[in-house]
Amino acid sequence: MHDDRTLVEARLERVLGERIRPAVYPESVPLEVAVWHAPGEPVPVAEGLAAEPEPVEVGARWGAPWGTSWFRVTGTVPEAWAGRTVEAVLDLGFDENMPGFQCEGLVYRPDGTPVKGLNPRNQWVRVGAPAEGGEEVRLHIEAASNPVILGYRPFAPTPLGDKETAGGAPQYTLARMDLAVFDENVWQLVIDLEVLGELMAELPADAPRRFEILRAVDEALDAVDLQDVNGTAERARSRLTEVLSAPAVPSAHRISAVGHAHIDSAWLWPLRETVRKVARTTAGMTALLDDEPEFVFAMSQAQQWAWVKEHRPEVWARVKEAVAGGRFVPAGGMWVESDTNMPGSEAMARQFVHGKRFFLDEFGIENDEAWLPDTFGFAAGLPQIIKAAGSRYLLTQKISWSRTNKFPHHTFRWEGIDGTRIFTHFPPVDTYNCSMRGAEIAHAVRNFKDKGAARHSLAPTGWGDGGGGTTREMVAKAARLRDLEGSATVTWETPSAFFAKAEAEYPEPPVWVGELYLELHRATLTSQAGTKQGNRRSEHLLREAELWAATAAVRTGFPYPHEELDRIWKTVLLHQFHDILPGSSIAWVHREARATYARIAAELNGVIDSAQRALAGEGTVPLVFNAAPHTRAGVPAGGARPADLEGRTTLDARPGGGHVLDNGLLRIGIDARGLVVSVHDVEADRETIAPGRAGNLLQLHPDLPNMWDAWDVDAFYRNTVTDLTGADEVTAGPDGASVRIVRSFGGSRVVQVLTLPPGERRLVVDTEVDWHETEKFLKLAFPLDLHAERYASETQFGHFFRPTHTNTSWEAAKFEACNHRFVHLQEPDWGVAVVNDSTYGHDVTRTVRTDGDGGTTTTVRVSLLRAPRFPDPETDQGVHRFRHALVPGASLGDAVREGWRINLPERRLTGAGEVAPLVTADRDAVVITAVKLADDGSGDVVVRFHEAHGARARATLTTGFATTGVEVTDLLERPLAETQAPPLDGDRITVRLRPFQLMTLRLKRA
Q: How confident is the model at residue 853 (pLDDT cuts 50, 70, 90)?
A: confident
State the average pLDDT over residues 157-178.
97
CA angle 797, 803, 809 (to 5 degrees): 120
Strands laid side by side in the 798-803 sheet: 729-732, 738-745, 748-755, 763-771, 878-888, 830-836, 822-827, 790-795, 798-803
The mean pLDDT value of the chain amounts to 97
Q: How confident is the model at residue 4 (pLDDT cuts 50, 70, 90)?
A: confident
Beta partners for residue 793, in sequence order = 800, 823
Lowest mean pLDDT among 376-380, 794-798, 852-856: 852-856
The model's pLDDT over 867-878, given as tens digits with 9 standing for 90+, comes to 999 999 999 999
Q: State residue 978's pLDDT score.
A: 87
Alpha helices in 739-850 (DSSP H): 809-812
Pick the catalytic residue from 162, 178, 374, 872.
374
Q: Are 656 and 671 in contact (CB under 8 A)?
A: yes
Strands laid side by side in the 666-670 sheet: 650-653, 659-662, 666-670, 676-681, 686-687
The model's pLDDT over 391-439, given as tens digits with 9 standing for 90+, comes to 999 999 999 999 999 999 999 999 999 999 999 999 999 999 999 999 9
Q: How far apart are CA 839 and CA 883, in angstroms?
A: 9
Q: How far apart are CA 305 and CA 313, in angstroms?
A: 11
Q: Are 765 and 860 in contact (CB under 8 A)?
A: no
Q: Are 454 and 217 in contact (CB under 8 A)?
A: no
- How do strand 254-259 and strand 456-461 relate by DSSP bridges? parallel
Query: Is pLDDT above 80 for 130?
Result: no
The model's pLDDT over 531-570, given as tens digits with 9 standing for 90+, comes to 999 999 999 999 999 999 999 999 999 999 999 999 999 9
Q: How confident is the model at residue 129 (pLDDT cuts 50, 70, 90)?
A: low
| Angle separating helix axes 229-238 and 208-223, nearest 10 degrees | 150
DSSP string, 405-460: ---S-SEEEEE-TTS-EEEEE--TT--SSB---HHHHHHHHHH-TTBTTB-EEEEE
The DSSP output letter for 668 is E
Q: How far apart are CA 598 and CA 58, in angstroms?
A: 46
Q: How far apart are CA 353 and CA 347, in angstroms?
A: 10
Query: Is pLDDT above 90 for 646?
Result: no
Cis upstream peptide for 561 (omega within 30°):
no
Q: What are the backbone angles phi and psi of residue 208, rounded to the nearest 5°?
A: -55, -40
Q: How far apart are CA 901 and CA 757, in angstroms?
A: 13
DSSP string, 332-359: S-SSS-B-SSSS-HHHHHHHHHHHHHHH
Query: Is pLDDT above 60 for 762?
Result: yes
The model's pLDDT over 802-826, given as tens digits with 9 standing for 90+, comes to 999 999 999 999 999 999 999 999 9
State the average pLDDT over residues 379-391.
98
* pTM, full prediction: 0.97
Question: Each residue of 621-656: b (16+ CB within 10 Å) or e?
Answer: eebbbbbbbbbbeebbbbbbbebeeeeebebeebee
State the average pLDDT over residues 305-328.
96
Catalytic annotation on 374? yes
Q: Are 558 and 549 in contact (CB under 8 A)?
A: yes
Q: State residue 105's pLDDT score.
A: 98
Identify how many contiguous H helices and E strands the chain contains and give both numbers. 19, 53
CA angle 405, 411, 412 (to 5 degrees): 85
Query: Is pLDDT above 70 for 298?
Result: yes
State the average pLDDT over residues 124-146.
88
Q: State residue 132's pLDDT score.
A: 65
Q: State residue 131's pLDDT score.
A: 57
Q: Quick one: CA torsion of 614, 618, 622, 626, rounded to 10 degrees?
A: -10
State the average pLDDT over residues 303-314.
97
Convert 508-527 into a string of H (helix), E (strand) and C (coil): CCCEEECCECCCCCHHHHCC
DSSP string, 246-291: PPPPTT--EEEEEE---B-SSSSS-HHHHHHHHHHHHHHHHHHHHH
Q: How far apart are CA 821 and CA 844, in angstroms?
A: 15
The model's pLDDT over 775-804, given as tens digits with 9 standing for 90+, comes to 999 999 999 999 999 999 999 999 999 999
Q: Are 332 and 370 in contact (CB under 8 A)?
A: yes
At 732, is the secondary structure helix, strand, or coil? strand
Q: How confident is the model at residue 3 (pLDDT cuts 50, 70, 90)?
A: confident
The model's pLDDT over 961-996, given as tens digits with 9 standing for 90+, comes to 999 999 999 999 999 988 999 999 999 999 999 999
For residue 148, how far is the Cα from the chain centroid?
Answer: 22
Q: What percent of the chain has pLDDT over 70?
A: 100
